[in-house]
Amino acid sequence: MTSTATIPQRIINRYDGHEHGALLIALGGMHGNEPAGVKAIETVFEMLAQEPSKNSNFRFKGRFLGLRGNLSALHAHCRQIEKDLNRQFTTQNIHRLKKLTRNGVKI
């Protein structure tokens, strides 16, 4: 039996505040067997959608962006596919990515 579910999208949602401010990025699901972070981010967006009707004084400055981490692993409900993404923030990898972006490569 094959799964008909599609691979989840990177962007969970975004919320644009009433005024300019900081960009807050929340990343959930770095490990595909840990969906709680994605669920928590989805809950925050549900709360942000409801809050203005419940609280007339509600103001949100800036932007909130929710992202999923390891899309393939989340789809497969397993920790990782090839590498543990949460162990890839090494100095060597950060330098490699900075070099790529300096050369105009979009990542």
Binding site for Zn ion (CB under 5 A): 31, 34
- Which residue lies nearer to Zn ion by CB, 53 or 90? 90
- Which residue lies nearer to Zn ion by CB, 23 or 89? 89
Among candidate residues 59, 56, 64, 50, the one with its CA nearest the CA of residue 16: 64
- Which residue lies nearer to Zn ion by CB, 1 or 36? 36
Measured at CB, which residue is nearest to Zn ion?
31
- Residue 11's beta-bridge partner residues? 67
- Which residue lies nearer to Zn ion by CB, 61 or 87? 87
**Smallest gap, in angstroms, from Cβ of residue 31 to Zn ion?**
4
Q: Which 3 state secondary structure label does DSSP give 92?
A: helix
What's the distance, CA 90 to chain centroid?
20
Could you tell me the sign of the dihedral formed by the alpha carbons of 94, 99, 101, 105, in that order?
negative
**Smallest gap, in angstroms, from Cβ of residue 102 to Zn ion?**
30
Alpha-carbon gap, residue 107 to 93, rounded angstroms: 13
**Smallest gap, in angstroms, from Cβ of residue 79 to Zn ion?**
8
**Smallest gap, in angstroms, from Cβ of residue 84 to Zn ion?**
8
